[in-house]
Amino acid sequence: MDRGAENRRGSIGRTAAAAAVLTVAAVILWVVLGRLTGTAFAGKSGYYTYTLQAMAWRRGALSLGRDYPWLELAVYEGDWYVSFPPVPTVPVWLLTFVFGSDVPDNLLVKLYALVGMLAAFMALRAGGWKAFPAAFAALCTAFCGSAAALSTQGAVWYQAQMAAFMTILLAVWLARRGSVTAALLCYALSVGCRPFNVAYGPLIMLMWFARQKRRTLAVAARGLWKGVVLGLCVAAAMAAYNWARFGNPLEFGTNYLPEFMRSKHGQFSLTHLAGNARSFLLGLPLERGEDGAWAVKKFGFSLFIANPLLACLVVRFALDAARRRLDAVRLACAILFAAQLFLLLLHRTFGGFQFGARYAVDLVPYFVCYACSDGEEPRLRPWEWALGAAGIAFALYGVAMVHI
């Protein structure tokens, strides 16, 4: 008997079993979250901005034509526009041909989260992780932190972030397995959901290049051109869409939101940095209410408490740096993580009303990038298992206490 073939069949079986357990665990946690928050598993959110945009597209319109006061809409030249990057509208547009204006966006964000978790799981498996530790780590990407709140309902902000979560983790997995063209396409789509995800680009290419051990830099670079062209096509489409609406290829509409037009310093400013650093790097998760009772903060706290995988990432980097075990991928991962975090801290709000630090969800895939890199120890340390389990429990409690 071919022992190699037998081992491969065993590995495939363990991978399939762990993926099934991951999926069942996720569904159970979503059912629990639904009970805790009173949110329908597969219903329609009250913040259905992307559905409105999709229906406008079907009418051949770029604007919504009227105000919806409970939604964040850009006001430009007497009309109302969706103020979010357009990529998440595309799957919603397709779904409107089945569901009309009642797209079940609560289910859609769960599908985004599940696909993202499975992609994280496969990336870790490709990095040498055993099946069930990889499954638990993947589960933590969506439930051990702020993302748990984002997958409960399909509100416009949550759709954008969970679509970005899915596409960037698909890009990480595809780069890890050597499919660079598809990886760069997924990366470009993630930028079309969350523009600051542009920081992942060099890391995605470096992760792929690290797998090309027998190729020169020039030969490997030629393997990138198809993915680069596809990515530029996505960028050009978004730029044209922005130009058609606002006369500016870089304007998605956020600068025309009334809240930012009234703000003295606008949406992004260095003046926001110090306050955001105090709140979202150092802030504690609890505060006293008017009645003197302790409660979870409604507008976020330290992103390392809200998203424990980011604390794991920082500790792993510190240990590898102390032991001089850093390679190009892990060093790039740390640098780009810090760069994207800096940019996010320039935002006036760093998110909104929900459990944890919402924008920090964009950073969670850096943990997967780091953990599946060559040379990184392919396992969870005992303290990481404990932190992950505690983080999931805290997220369940926090989402029950703070949700829209």
Q: Given this model, what pLDDT does residue 263 score?
A: 65
Write out pLDDT tens, residues 243-281.
Answer: 999 999 989 888 898 877 666 777 788 999 999 999 999
pLDDT surpasses 90 at 315: yes
Strands (E), 300-401: none
Per-residue pLDDT at 143 exceeds 70: yes
Q: Report which of 49, 303, 41 is spatially closest to residue 152, judged by C-alpha positions.
A: 41
Mean per-residue pLDDT, 143-154: 94
> How far is C-alpha 74 from the chain's CA centre?
23
- DSSP for 13-72 reads HHHHHHHHHHHHHHHHHHHHHHHHHT--SS---S--HHHHHHHHHHTT-SS-SS--TTS-
Q: Above 70 in pLDDT, residue 146?
A: yes
Query: For 18-45, what is the mean pLDDT?
Result: 96
Alpha helices in 323-381 (DSSP H): 328-345, 365-371
- The residue-averaged pLDDT of 348-367 equals 90
Q: For residue range 82-119, what is the model confidence (pLDDT) as tens digits? A: 999 999 999 999 999 999 999 999 999 999 999 999 99
pLDDT band at 1 (very low <50, low <70, confident <90, very high): very low
Q: What is the pLDDT of residue 179?
A: 93
Q: What is the mean pLDDT of the chain?
A: 92
Confidence of residue 288 (pLDDT cuts 50, 70, 90): confident
Return the closest-CA partner of residue 118 out of 156, 162, 159, 173.
173
How confident is the model over 170-190, as pLDDT tens digits?
Answer: 999 999 999 999 999 999 999
Domain ranges of the chain: 3-401
Tokens 């190009």 sit on residue: 328
Token digits for 297? Answer: 């903060």
Q: 293 pLDDT band (50/70/90 cuts)?
A: confident
| pLDDT of 54 | 98
Percent of the chain with pLDDT over 70: 96
Residue type, 191: V
- What pTM did the predictor assign? 0.94
For residue 166, give Cα distances in angstroms to 32, 38, 186, 189.
22, 25, 9, 10
287 by DSSP, 3-state: which? strand
